Amino acid sequence: MEIFLISLLTLIASFVGTISGFGLSTVMLPVIVLYFPLPIALLFVGIIHAFSDLWKIILFKHAFDKKIILMFGIPGIIASLIGAKIVLTTPQTILLQFFGLILIAYVLIITFNSRFRLPHTPFYSGLGGVTSGFLAGVFGMGGAARSVFLTAFNFPKDVYIFATGAIGAIIDSGRLFTYYFGGIRLEQDLIYGLIIFIPVSFIGAEIAKKFVDKVPQKLFRNVVALFLFLVGLKLLVFP
């Protein structure tokens, strides 16, 4: 029953994460952490999230943009290493609530000012990488911050989804390396369960790809904004 429930959660999280550019960790982590210690939950969900990133890269490889990946990815992996190292020692409640406020404020801005855009410059790309990398390393939820910057650049939806996957894969590799060599280990049942959870995450991404192809660009941006608002509200009220 535990394997079935986690598989269902993985399917839903992968679908949401592919559509919105973030979300797998945001959906899975609050549930998994109810049953496992936070460090184990971070490593476990992080592994599935890394494969979810891989599926985005495979399914949307036609939208590859080297410049975006480098500008976000290099600062992101450095910041994720720093964040992962302090995950066991830093209180996270205040950080989560502050992050929630940022997300809510961003959604309000793009709702009441639809022309809001961040300049597509190396500085803002690097800032997006650092922010999402650090947040991913500390509490496994850097995708929403990454989405804030990428949606503000208003990329075509396929470029946006590929970029979130590729940048996420770079950042995840750094933090998972740090978790593991910092002594965090998965229980045997979870290791065996990955044999099922990883293919299920691909199924969720494949279903999402069929859905994304039918969503207009403007509606897609609004869907992402809705996800950001819900995540921000959740973090603010229930960090």
Positive or negative: CA dihedral 160, 26, 105, 167: negative
Is there a contact between 231 and 100 (Cβ–Cβ < 8 Å)?
yes
Per-residue pLDDT at 176? 92
Q: Which residue do the tokens 């943009």 mark?
A: 65
CA distance 155 to 166: 15
Is the pLDDT at 135 greater than 90, yes or no?
no
Structure tokens at 135: 């947040």
Per-residue pLDDT at 216? 67
| Percent share of the chain, pLDDT over 90 | 9
Q: Which residue do the tokens 């950042």 mark?
A: 171
65 vs 180, which has greater pLDDT?
Answer: 180
Helix 157-181 with 38-59: angle, nearest 10 deg: 150
Structure tokens at 197: 């959870």
The predicted model gives 145-149 an average pLDDT of 78
pTM for this entry: 0.75
Residue 205 DSSP code: H
Is there a contact between 152 and 117 (Cβ–Cβ < 8 Å)?
yes
Per-residue pLDDT at 28? 82
Q: Which residue do the tokens 């936070």 mark?
A: 38
Is the pLDDT at 74 greater than 80, yes or no?
yes
**Residues with Cβ within 8 Å of residue 67, at least 6 apart in sequence:** none
Q: What is the pLDDT of residues 15-44, one digit of tens each?
A: 877 776 556 777 787 778 778 887 888 899
The residue among 234, 237, 190, 230 whose CA lies nearest residue 16 is: 230
Q: What is the pLDDT of residues 220-233, one digit of tens each?
A: 667 777 877 887 88
The predicted model gives 150-176 an average pLDDT of 85
Is there a contact between 68 and 125 (Cβ–Cβ < 8 Å)?
yes
Per-residue pLDDT at 161? 84
181 vs 153, which has greater pLDDT?
Answer: 181
Residue 186 DSSP code: -
CA-CA distances (angstroms) from residue 176 to 4, 94, 168, 180, 230? Answer: 25, 23, 12, 6, 26
Q: Residue 110's pLDDT band (boundaries 50, 70, 90)?
A: low
The predicted model gives 104-128 an average pLDDT of 76
The domain spans of the chain are 2-237
CA distance 85 to 144: 21
